[in-house]
Structure 1
Amino acid sequence: MGAGAGAIQTFPFDPRASVSGVGIQIGPMGEGGPTWQSRAVPERVHRVDFHVVMLFTGGPVTHMIDFADHEARAGDVLWIRPGQVHRFRPAHAYRGTALTMQPGFLPRAIVEATGLYRYDLPPLLHPDPAQLAGLRHCLEQLEREYVDTATLPSHLHTAVLRHTLTAFLYRLAHLAAGSAGRRAVEGADSAFERFREAVERDFARNHSVSAYADALGYSRRTLVRAVRAATGETPKGFIDKRVVLEAKRLLAHTDLPVGRVGATLGFPDAANFSKFFHQRTGLTPALFRAGMG
């Protein structure tokens, strides 16, 4: 069924493994590749609390992200965002460059402008030759700046890394938006960004749109308008979608009893959780779990 335990293991970003302790890591995949990958059992699902971008020079590699298998080939880009449940195949199958980014390394304005938390965008990207050349150029420049700790003081080294990373992320975000048939990523409405952050923090105990609006200091109408503009959904639909995703993760990848899963997600009564899950997925929690076996 999955991890066979009561929780899905999360690997944190380790700044001690970075050059000069900065908030990114960049280097080749495969042997001697990313530190979190070498610690994770390849076939075991896990999360990371940072961004991972992999630019492939070989393949194919099938990588699972939140119940979907993505087959990456040479020239493809795979973008895994914080908290997504995913699983590596054997490490030796991965060839290319991996970039990891610690949340908080970039200022909020850049995070919003580059859509770093646009979970609605596809993780697997297929750049055309011109887009791929631009991404490679930016990534190669970023790697050169990353390892060059001799020519600048540490504070300027970090500043240059932030600027170079931002250029890469603008290209990546534009590609992701185009791949989804959306308009180019623009600066997100701050009301939606604050709501998204609050939901991510509190979805397991707060399912009320009014409670979020009150806590954030917005009217319900303002919140509805901001969330609909950013996602096409209502705030309630956004909250419920996040709760359902976490329920699926826990049902598929842990051995927690259904009642415990519901309690973990803010449903003290198991029957209410089962009703909620069935209304939004068409399956009972038990049937969903059985189908993942």
Structure 2
Amino acid sequence: MVADPAIHHDAHGEAIEPAIQSRVLRIGRPAQRWFHHALLLTGGNLHLARSEGPATVTAPAVAFFPPSAEDTITVAAGSRGYLIGVSPEIIGEAIGEHAESTALRVFSAGFSVTEALEPTSLREMIPLFEGALAELAMETRTSRMVVSAYMRLILMTVWRLQRSPAAEERQASAGAILQRFRQSVEIGFRRHRSIADYAAELGITTDRLHAICQRTLSRSPIELVHDRLVQEAKQRLERSARDVQEISYSLGFRDPGNFSHFFKRKTGLSPARYRALAIKRTSDAAIQTSSDYHDWP
């Protein structure tokens, strides 16, 4: 077999081994900055920070994501899995010109995560990732053709998972969880409940709730709760004659100063200033007035 000495400029891979502390993988820097990455998480969880928005991945899960500047992966302590990155050229070779190629080309350009993998799917993918890592570890004997072949198999497997009935069922389940979360927020946002309380009520982990919210709405659960709280504050400032202190207490803030700080941090205006501008109605551009709950988020 003829080895490709330049393959390590176009591909890299590593096994994610359990550690006692979290660690950060900076995959958004040269030369990996332009790589496509495939991730198989067999245990634990990790947080992926991307310029397009963050995501939390909980095992067992597989993810595929295109290049993104300044990407970082924060791997939680005790997590394990596999990470493989390849250049656009190798992705092009892996996709090739076949019946599925057009669909794969579109799929590879987007971000994809499949969680709650069935044991059979996990058993199918582990040898693919381990095979690709073993090939990349050969140093002087690594074959570009073999690496491309493994990437084709990984890409096809992930793509099929996304189109499977089980994936559609998981998506429907995520939608139901999100709807229940919205209902719980509507009932409890004035009590300043913790996200752990919401997750426990829904019967899921906080990581799972975070992942659903991020993937569906590109917002974290706490951001969504704060959005609802700000929306209610805006409505009361616009439509109520009560002073800021009374509104603060009615929204569950023990200290009106904390409410003012929170509101200004979220809107850029103090409650009093927001109310003054709302009364004057100087222009729609001056402030963003409140909306009804059915528009949230």
| TM-score normalised according to structure 2 size | 0.42
Larger Rg: 2
Give the helix-richer structure, 1 or 2.
2
Q: Provide TM-score, normalisation by structure 1.
A: 0.42
